[in-house]
Amino acid sequence: MKEKWDSRGAFVLAAVGSAVGLGNIWRFPIICYKYGGGAFLVAYIIALFLVGIPILILEFSLGAKMSASAPLSFKKINKRFTWIGWFALLIAFIIVTYYTVIMSWSANYLIHSVTLKWGSNPKTFFFGNVLHLTQSIEQTGRFVMPLIIGLVVIWIWIILSIWKGAKTVSKVVYVTVILPWIILIVLVIRGITLPGAIEGIKYYLTPNWSQLANLKLWQEAFTQIFFSLSVGFGVMIAYASFLPKKSDVVNNAFIIGLADAATAYVGGFAVFSVLGFYAEKMHVPISEVMKSGPQLAFITYPAIINNLPLPQLFGILFFLMLLTLAVDSAFSLVEAGVAGLQDTFNIKRGSANLLIAVVAILIGLIYTTGSGLYWLDIVDHFMSYYGLFFSALLETLVIAYFYRKKLKEYANSVSEIKIGFWWDIIVMFIIPIISIFLLVNSIIDTAHAAYGGYPRWAEIIAGWLPLILALIFAFVLSHFTNRREK
Ligand code: PFF
């Protein structure tokens, strides 16, 4: 008997938990600011409805109808397509190897919050004391013990959260999805009541409409939608496969898409209110304190925390929020892989969990060295700008031209909201065209110069090689899936 969610609520929470992650808090607000504030929001909402929700409908319908993980779902369409499911899972796996390292940094910072250990120079603390960052990618540096310990602890947490699959996840998400929301609301209230906050929020939201003519804005809006909704990784297919028969899929896709976007939007208030406060305090323009990604969470935020009343409490809340936001995204990536392995090999659940954890920790060790941040940066770029679109493109093409009618029939037979002709047009033309556009754009970007100014050889090792290996492994694993009588 295939495992099932405890309730519809558990499924919705788990899917929202996967979607809502680090991407919402540290990526969305910054690109929103960079590409015209309110204008970016408009583009983001268009991207959500134009590709995000339609592809969520696709993945939910596929997983629910086939009641199978990504590779087996594609196999049921045609054996020639099994590898596409595996490719998605392998990209997901590569992502989780570094996503968990970022969580390990957060775990370290959670502990540092107790004593505000970053002191008055959070930048030196992060790059020097925490990461032991080397001068360049050529110097490997040494393994950093606290990061390794953090990584192992995070993996234990992940494995325990998915130990019995959907059954365990159904319970865990009530805490790990709801808690960070509560903390986020607390942080927003704290943020907007600080002096200078309004200036920060103005920066975040004031629309610069001319940006809508900027192609980059659209590229970022669509990239963010794909990554943030966790589509194209086989995750939503696996999660939908644990739904009881006849569960609504269209309605759920709308709920999850909107909840994810809403969280990102609210996250912006938490980030920009405190940036406004900090800029005022330091007497500098906000643009100077704006940093994206790791810099924002591990340098700017600690600096801001230093200036708040009850800084320890604020630090603990912030890093606890990051960790609990990230953990459900991380275990969804693992769960999708476990489901794939179980559909293919006669492997016990516990063994599949452990196998993935051990291999992921071993790979993750690379990012715990002094040059880890550089490698993480390249791998992240290649997975989110190439692997993801490639996987989404393959997935939609197969569905659009080999299985669209049946899938639509299924979705409409179980869902309250019916999908119409618009969905066919989106899946057949719009998503493939946009994915190709994004892929070509990324290729042009890196053809000019290696990504991020790194040497070409590093880009080949950390960017192209994992993609090629993922393709090769996808074919090898699909051979095993196809041999099975399922
Ligand atoms: N959606 C997550 C975020 O925004 O941080 C990241 C993620 C989770 C991507 C799960 C992909 C995935 F399958």
Quick check: CB of 478 below 6 Å from ligand 1? no
Q: In sequence order, which residues have a C-beta less than 8 Å from that of residue 213 and are 6 or more positions away?
A: none
**Domain assignment present for 1:** no
CATH of the domain at 95: 1.20.1740.10
Q: 230 C-alpha vs ligand 1 centroid, how far in Å?
A: 5
Rounded CA-CA distance 413/8 in Å is 18
Averaged confidence pLDDT in the chain: 95
Better-scored residue on pLDDT, 446 or 135: 135
Which of 96-100, 156-160, 344-348 is the least confident region? 344-348
Share of the chain above pLDDT 90, in %: 88
**Domain assignment present for 3:** no
**pLDDT computed for residue 287 by the predictor:** 82
**pLDDT computed for residue 486 by the predictor:** 59
Q: What is the span of the domain harbouring residue 465? A: 8-483
- Per-residue model confidence as pLDDT tens digits over 317-370: 999 999 999 999 999 999 999 999 999 998 999 999 999 999 999 999 999 999
Buried b (16+ CB within 10 A) or exposed e, 4-20: bbeeeebbbbbbbbbbb
The average pLDDT across 361-387 equals 96
- Per-residue model confidence as pLDDT tens digits over 275-297: 999 999 999 988 888 776 788 89
Partnered with residue 369 across adjacent β-strands are: 143
Quick check: CB of 98 below 6 Å from ligand 1? no
Better-scored residue on pLDDT, 127 or 2: 127
Q: In sequence order, which residues have a C-beta less than 8 Å from that of residue 401 and are 6 or more positions away?
A: 428
Under 8 Å between Cβ of 393 and 433: no
Mutate to test the pocket of ligand 1, among 94, 220, 225, 333 (most ligand atoms within 8 A of CB): 333
Residue 485 has pLDDT above 80, yes or no: no
3-state secondary structure (DSSP) of residue 285: coil
The average pLDDT across 51-74 equals 97
Residue 53 CA: distances (Å) to CA of 59, 67, 149, 255: 10, 20, 38, 9
**Domain assignment present for 2:** no
Cα dihedral: 254, 260, 266, 269 (round 10): -140
CB-CB neighbours of 61 under 10 Å: 27
pLDDT band at 1 (very low <50, low <70, confident <90, very high): low
- Per-residue model confidence as pLDDT tens digits over 402-442: 999 999 999 999 999 999 999 999 999 999 999 999 899 88
pLDDT band at 3 (very low <50, low <70, confident <90, very high): confident
Q: 475 C-alpha vs ligand 1 centroid, how far in Å?
A: 24
**Domain assignment present for 86:** yes
Residues 151, 102, 379, 437, CA torsion sign: positive
Residue 198 has pLDDT above 80, yes or no: yes
**Domain assignment present for 245:** yes
Q: 24 C-alpha vs ligand 1 centroid, how far in Å?
A: 9
**pLDDT computed for residue 88 by the predictor:** 98
Quick check: CB of 92 below 6 Å from ligand 1? yes
Residue 97 has pLDDT above 80, yes or no: yes
CB-CB neighbours of 394 under 10 Å: 20
Q: In sequence order, which residues have a C-beta less than 8 Å from that of residue 304 and are 6 or more positions away?
A: 274, 275, 277, 278
The average pLDDT across 378-383 equals 94
Under 8 Å between Cβ of 190 and 258: no
Q: Which of 337, 331, 326, 332 is nearest to 90 (CA)?
A: 337
Q: In sequence order, which residues have a C-beta less than 8 Å from that of residue 289 and are 6 or more positions away?
A: 275, 278, 279, 282, 300
The average pLDDT across 8-36 equals 92
**pLDDT computed for residue 285 by the predictor:** 87
- Per-residue model confidence as pLDDT tens digits over 463-480: 999 999 999 999 999 999
- Per-residue model confidence as pLDDT tens digits over 437-461: 989 988 888 888 889 899 999 999 9
Q: Which of 457, 374, 461 is nearest to 101 (CA)?
A: 374
Helices 145-161 and 166-176: angle between axes, nearest 10 degrees: 120
Q: Which of 404, 414, 392 is nearest to 52 (CA)?
A: 392
Rounded CA-CA distance 297/275 in Å is 12
Quick check: CB of 233 below 6 Å from ligand 1? yes
CB-CB neighbours of 352 under 10 Å: 21
Q: Tokens representing 297? A: 């969470």
Reported as half-sphere exposure (CB side, CA atoms, 13 A), residue 243 has a value of: 28
**pLDDT computed for residue 293 by the predictor:** 72
Rounded CA-CA distance 206/155 in Å is 41
Q: Which of 452, 49, 445, 15 is nearest to 215 (CA)?
A: 445
Q: What's the structural domain count of the chain?
A: 1
Quick check: CB of 235 below 6 Å from ligand 1? yes
Helices 53-66 and 70-77: angle between axes, nearest 10 degrees: 80
The average pLDDT across 17-24 equals 95
Quick check: CB of 236 below 6 Å from ligand 1? no
Per DSSP, helices labelled H in 70-130 are 70-77, 82-115, 122-124
Residue 145 has pLDDT above 90, yes or no: yes
Rounded CA-CA distance 20/102 in Å is 15
Q: Which of 327, 292, 291, 329 is nearest to 150 (CA)?
A: 327
